[in-house]
Chain A
């Protein structure tokens, strides 16, 4: 893997050929591999190694970016020239700040736990095949068909600039996702972790198989408003859509559903959400696209929209804007994307506050307390219908069940929903313990399972 020392060498090479006094370099990449199986067979099995160098000069109040994976001296020279050429033809941007200083990017407070595990970096294709073999064995025993993936990777990200900033992050990742297919039903599970030792392939396979078996011969149940029990993956895939709106720039651009709502009680009293890169179950680098350390930010406090996150430039703009007095604390929080960009920033390390231990409920307990409702394993193809009321549409998938009198009765045909996130997070009746959850429609988060009343299913599909 590309080391700290090599990153420093590349930066020196860039500085040598750069004619700009102010220059920032991002280096990122690593090795990743993914074993994919379907029909109880490994049908794709891939590996990749790649590193990119991305150069951003600041010249006379202007900036632009060029990126390459050609790391030889000619490649470095060309990417620097390309970035400078592109920068020089821009118009000066009065809002563009000088590059971050070493003082601005100095880390203080708690540190993130280690996210690099040698054993995960050393996972081989044979190791992955062995785990797949075990999962397929579960499928065969249950007379089901398995499809899924097992991936592992090691990656690095470095950010250096001419003000002396040098941030470096490396981590490993591993992930298993499995679908078990019956004749007319399916079940699904997914887990990821920086440490592959935490993955439990057979447990995931057995749980997915049980869901496929329990949902066999699904019955059609009429669409309408139901109490739903959302497993953690379903929760994150839904709530993920609102965090794109949680940056200061989204307010300045008036594209956020939080326009005129900051400081108001928008959600239920039982909803508190942080962005916290240092949380034990979180992942990713502890610095942003300019090298600023990610701060822990309270986004929602007992239902009240509390704080936004800010890149350096956005914070400066916000302080001068008409919104400044209405948006709470304004400060760079270390959530900016690499410059230049249109999005500004967003929180990417979401952690829900857990319910008090005595009030936490397992999914089984939530089922047990439900007179009539729907248990949802997973959601699919979620898209925004209304940007201000935050109405989302999408489908249930891979394990949807009718719950009656505290028991799972049978599998049901999948539903389409049209549901406001604001209403969803105002109607949460029960929550489970926090887990690191992974879906397909949003980024990984630390969330609980939730029991929610009046979830709005509008149609039923044919399976």
Chain B
């Protein structure tokens, strides 16, 4: 049986012999376990694996990409030849040749660290945990639907390029969470833990599941879900809000992470994902946020086990930390080898990733995180420091325009803050605003001990669409003069 390196070699040799001035091959071997329960029974139990090669080339100054699951010599060479033919077709509609920022050749072997290989845990053990959580939720009177889930993924990739790079990386990803629903009269309410839409995801092993304390929190979440029916509707007003760290993580994703993607800025996503208000002249001139807003795009292991952590991106560029917002000033984009030259960079920011072997790499968020405040500040202290406001917890809906200006978010639950104390529960809370006005209204953020590196496993972008995991570190933060309750205006 041939080795991955031989297969990569067949791809590069074929591409070069047919005229490619640059070629890269990614072989990916991936497996997943997905388990869920619903109303006390197993809802979904599956195992999947996928193996294949993706070959990207430049011929006549234009890109081509082809992929196949056929890793025989004939299959790989045929795939490389197809990539070359596709690139030649691309060259028929171009304004200029592709220009790549220089990069070195690397030989590396990296694996994301974990304590407990999730695939070493038994399915029985996994289902027992989910069933226990499910029982706790259903023990709450008024819960009409309970859902739990557990997902493990092992993603192993071999990257070879005509620059001479030979990079082997393995990431192990674990995710878990649960949700409770309650239907009464004409009202459906939902509460999730530790986050909505699947829970928490990180580049870690089963130890993440153990740390989440899922069973311990199930009863409380179920009770909050039912209590929402008798809660007051979130008022419509303009005022002070505090976001919990998971909601702030999604706020960063939508109103910082996407607009800083340089491919969007340059129009490459105009037909689908959209463009960005962050046009090039705004770099190092735009006051993106208040002076306590500091955001980084950090793919390095030092940042933590986020879904955007790796050693090299999918075009062989080392992981980096790029300052995005520095004391409120907009300071950086997410870039690739073929977009970095457009903003005068000598090296790509290393953010190119592909969903799998069958997709071409595109610019993706790495870990786009807001840095915590330098002084000790807990959520309790932040609330105590707030005279009048609303505390928003756990995302329920999210929407933002195609240039990333106007957003509207809803959360599952809200709490009134009066004279430094949490008061009434609010149902159907929402807030809206304009990105730069919102970030400029941030006047407090909690400290490192309140900071969580959240995982968003379902970010969609590209054509054909690619789903990617991104990381977002955040601590609870406070914003002033925000439009509240907008989602129900006029309805």
Residues of A at the B interface (CB closer than 8 Å) are 32-52, 63-71, 79, 82-83, 85-87, 89-91, 93, 95, 124-126, 128-130, 132-133, 136, 145, 147-149, 151, 177-179, 181, 186, 188, 224-225, 253-255, 257, 259, 340-342, 380-389, 391, 393-395, 397-398, 414, 416, 418-420, 440, 456, 458-463
Report if B490 contacts A (CB, 8 A).
yes
Are A39's CB and B41's CB within 8 A?
A: no
Given contacts A36-B463, A69-B69, contact A418 B402 (CB under 8 A): no
Are B44's CB and A397's CB within 8 A?
A: no
Query: How long is the Cα–Cα vector from A41 to B263 in the complex, in angstroms?
Result: 13
Report if B122 contacts A (CB, 8 A).
yes
Are B147's CB and A342's CB within 8 A?
A: yes
Report if B397 contacts A (CB, 8 A).
yes
Closest 4 pairs between A and B when the two form their complex, measured CB to CB? A125-B89, A461-B406, A147-B270, A64-B45
Are B489's CB and A38's CB within 8 A?
A: no
Looking at chain A's contact residues, is the secondary structure mostly helix, strand, loop, or mixed?
A: strand
Q: Nearest-CB distance from A34 to chain B (Å)?
A: 6
Q: Which residues of A contact B86 (CB under 8 A)?
A: 33, 45-47, 125
How many A-B contacts at CB < 8 Å in the complex?
290
Q: Which residues of B contact A35 (CB under 8 A)?
A: 89-90
Report if B62 contacts A (CB, 8 A).
yes
Q: How many residues of B contact A (CB 8 A)?
A: 88
Query: How long is the Cα–Cα vector from A45 to B42 in the complex, in angstroms?
Result: 41
Report if B94 contacts A (CB, 8 A).
yes
Are A414's CB and B488's CB within 8 A?
A: no
Of the residues B66, B269, B401, contact of A461 by C-beta under 8 Å: B401
Are A459's CB and B486's CB within 8 A?
A: yes
Given contacts A388-B188, A395-B406, contact A418 B489 (CB under 8 A): yes
Within B476-491, the residues touching A (CB, 8 Å) are 486-491
Binary contact track B234-256/A, C-beta < 8 Å → 1, others 0: 00000000000000000000000
Binds A, one of B133-141, B271-279, B285-293: B271-279
Given contacts A89-B124, A380-B401, contact A458 B45 (CB under 8 A): no
Given contacts A44-B63, A66-B47, A147-B271, contact A395 B399 (CB under 8 A): yes
Are B188's CB and A387's CB within 8 A?
A: yes
Report if B434 contacts A (CB, 8 A).
yes
Given contacts A38-B270, A39-B266, A254-B144, contact A136 B93 (CB under 8 A): yes
Residue of B at shortest CB range from A340? B44
Are A67's CB and B397's CB within 8 A?
A: no
Given contacts A38-B268, A129-B92, A383-B397, contact A49 B67 (CB under 8 A): yes
Are B405's CB and A177's CB within 8 A?
A: no
Are A462's CB and B51's CB within 8 A?
A: no
Query: How long is the Cα–Cα vector from A389 to B48 in the complex, in angstroms?
Result: 37
Query: How long is the Cα–Cα vector from A242 to B47 in the complex, in angstroms?
Result: 30
Query: How long is the Cα–Cα vector from A79 to B48 in the complex, in angstroms?
Result: 8
Q: Which residues of B contact A382 (CB under 8 A)?
A: 399
Residue of B at shortest CB range from A68? B49
Residues of B at the A interface (CB closer than 8 Å) are 36, 38-39, 41-52, 62-70, 79, 82-83, 85-96, 122-124, 127, 144-145, 147, 181, 183, 186-188, 190, 266-272, 274, 277, 358-360, 362, 397-403, 405-406, 408, 410, 428, 430, 432, 434, 463-464, 486-491
Given contacts A177-B271, A418-B489, contact A48 B358 (CB under 8 A): yes
Other than the known A42-B62, A49-B68, A86-B47, what 19 A-B pairs have Cβ atoms closer than 8 Å?
Answer: A40-B93, A41-B93, A43-B268, A49-B69, A70-B69, A89-B122, A89-B123, A91-B127, A125-B90, A126-B89, A145-B270, A186-B270, A255-B181, A380-B401, A382-B399, A393-B399, A418-B489, A461-B406, A461-B434
Query: How long is the Cα–Cα vector from A420 to B66 in the complex, in angstroms?
Result: 43
Are B127's CB and A145's CB within 8 A?
A: no
Q: Nearest-CB distance from A44 to chain B (Å)?
A: 6
Are B490's CB and A340's CB within 8 A?
A: no
21 of the cross-chain contacts (CB-CB < 8 Å) are: A45-B62, A45-B63, A46-B360, A47-B66, A50-B69, A50-B358, A64-B46, A66-B46, A89-B124, A129-B93, A145-B267, A147-B268, A186-B270, A188-B271, A340-B44, A388-B188, A393-B397, A395-B401, A397-B402, A418-B487, A458-B486
Q: Nearest-CB distance from B73 to chain A (Å)?
A: 15
Are A128's CB and B45's CB within 8 A?
A: no
Residue of B at shortest CB range from A261? B186
Of the residues A46, A89, A389, contact of B66 by C-beta under 8 Å: A46
Are A41's CB and B95's CB within 8 A?
A: yes
Are B44's CB and A416's CB within 8 A?
A: no
Given contacts A125-B85, A254-B144, contact A65 B45 (CB under 8 A): yes
Q: Which residues of B contact A46 (CB under 8 A)?
A: 65-67, 86, 359-360, 464
Q: Which residues of B contact A259 (CB under 8 A)?
A: 183, 188
Q: Which residues of A contact B400 (CB under 8 A)?
A: 381, 395
Are B145's CB and A255's CB within 8 A?
A: yes
Query: How long is the Cα–Cα vector from A420 to B68 in the complex, in angstroms?
Result: 44
Of the residues B39, B43, B89, contact of A340 by C-beta under 8 Å: B43
Query: How long is the Cα–Cα vector from A64 to B65 in the complex, in angstroms?
Result: 35
